[in-house]
């Protein structure tokens, strides 16, 4: 895989540039929306939810931002990945190329946006008087897990979308449900232990919680928690890779 990526490096770089530019094509502010969009979203959520869920919670703004940061990256990466094959059908139907290049370019574009927003997140942590420690370096772990997981889910969704265009509508409904189950604006600690364990079945929430443990609590999650996050990422990547390998030769006939 890495050899094929290196062989098609120029094309891959151009795909990433194209995907990144297309997102802001026709806008006045352009790339500034990478920073403004999450900020405005955070502002709205803070105004709406602070009085209901964060009145007695310290660092509630950071708590919210951890959730919106991870969630926005997950949503952008997987939704973009879902359309990767169909939107590039006019390319790979004429030229023999590794089809996963289009998916990876979408993920890299989403990752660039995420990194820009992450810088703003750290700035808000300073405003919220969060103490920075060396433990913040541990945030690289959930970021890597998110990248791997998003690629895996993107592989699954893009394969399904080729055969079933209803996938887009069903996934939008699923995203709405997953959004509410990811504890972005409310606290899970208020629920009984058996309910809190159910939240761990949501891989997005697991990565959000990792961010909060490191940033707000100033701690490092347990080894089992590290294994849980990695397990979700690897499992989803393996399922996605299997689907691409199994149906790769059929994609041309359905796009």
Residue 204 predicted with pLDDT over 90: yes
Q: Is residue 1 part of a domain?
A: no
Q: Specify the pLDDT at position 11.
A: 64
Q: Is residue 7 part of a domain?
A: no
Residue 27 predicted with pLDDT over 70: no
Mean pLDDT on 68-85: 89
pTM: 0.86
- On whether the CB atoms of residues 202 and 178 are closer than 8 A, the answer is yes
Q: Which domain holds residue 67?
A: 59-254
Q: Is residue 31 part of a domain?
A: no
Residue 28 predicted with pLDDT over 60: no
Q: Specify the pLDDT at position 187.
A: 87
Q: Is residue 183 part of a domain?
A: yes
pLDDT in tens, 113-134: 898 889 888 888 888 888 888 9
Mean pLDDT on 86-101: 72
Residue 110 predicted with pLDDT over 60: yes
Q: Specify the pLDDT at position 70.
A: 94
Q: Is residue 45 part of a domain?
A: no
Q: Is residue 20 part of a domain?
A: no
What's the alpha-carbon Rg for the chain, to the nearest Å? 19
Among candidates 140, 121, 143, 135, which has minimal Cα distance to 59?
121
Q: Is residue 33 part of a domain?
A: no
Q: Is residue 121 part of a domain?
A: yes
Residue 252 predicted with pLDDT over 60: yes
Phi/psi for 65 (5° steps) reads: -65, -35
Counted domains in the chain: 1
172: left (phi over 0), alpha (psi -120 to 50) or beta: alpha
pLDDT in tens, 140-153: 999 999 999 999 99
Highest mean pLDDT among 81-90, 95-104, 209-218: 209-218
- Sign of the dihedral defined by the CA atoms of residues 237, 243, 244, 246, in that order: positive
């Amino acid at each position: 895989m890495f050899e094929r990526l290196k062989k098609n490096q120029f094309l891959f770089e151009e795909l990433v540039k194209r995907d990144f530019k297309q997102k802001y094509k026709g806008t006045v502010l352009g790339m500034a929306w990478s920073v403004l969009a999450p900020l405005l979203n955070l502002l709205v959520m803070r105004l709406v939810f602070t009085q209901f869920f964060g009145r007695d919670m310290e660092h509630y703004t950071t708590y919210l931002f951890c959730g919106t940061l991870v969630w926005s990256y997950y949503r952008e990466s997987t939704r973009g990945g879902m359309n990767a094959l169909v939107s590039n059908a006019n390319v790979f139907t004429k030229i023999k190329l590794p089809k996963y290049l289009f998916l990876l370019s979408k993920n890299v574009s989403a990752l660039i946006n995420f990194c820009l927003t992450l810088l703003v997140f750290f700035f808000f942590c300073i405003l919220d008087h969060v103490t920075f420690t060396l433990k913040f370096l541990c945030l690289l772990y959930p970021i890597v897990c998110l990248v791997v997981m998003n690629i895996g889910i993107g592989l699954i969704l893009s394969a399904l979308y080729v055969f079933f265009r209803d996938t887009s509508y069903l996934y939008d409904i699923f995203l709405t449900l997953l959004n509410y189950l990811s504890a972005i604006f409310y606290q899970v600690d208020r629920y009984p232990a058996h309910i809190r364990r159910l939240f761990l079945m949501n891989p997005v929430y697991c990565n959000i919680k990792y961010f909060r443990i490191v940033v707000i609590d100033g701690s490092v999650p347990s080894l089992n928690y590290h294994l849980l996050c990695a397990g979700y990422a690897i499992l989803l990547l393996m399922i996605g890779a299997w689907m691409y390998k199994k149906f790769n030769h059929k994609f041309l006939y359905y796009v």
